[in-house]
Amino acid sequence: MIETVKQASELIIERLDKAFKPKLHHRYQLMVVDNVYDQTYNFFLDIWHQHNRRRSIPLHSVVTYELQFLEQVINQITANTNLTIVYINFHQQRWPLSQRIIYGRTLDVNKQRKS
Higher model confidence: residue 109 or residue 56?
56
- Answer whether residue 113 shows pLDDT above 60: no
Global pTM value: 0.85
DSSP one-letter string for the chain: -PPPHHHHHHHHHHHHHHH----TTEEEEEEEEEETTTTEEEEEEEEEETTS--EEEEEEEE----HHHHHHHHHHHHTT---EEEEES-TT-B-TTT--B---B---HHHHS--
Residues 80-107 have a mean pLDDT of: 87
What does the pLDDT read at residue 108? 58
pLDDT above 70 for 43: yes
- Dump pLDDT digits (tens) for 64-83: 999 999 999 999 999 999 99
Partners of residue 43 on adjacent β-strands = 32, 60
pLDDT attached to residue 19: 86
User: Does residue 22 register a pLDDT over 90?
Assistant: no
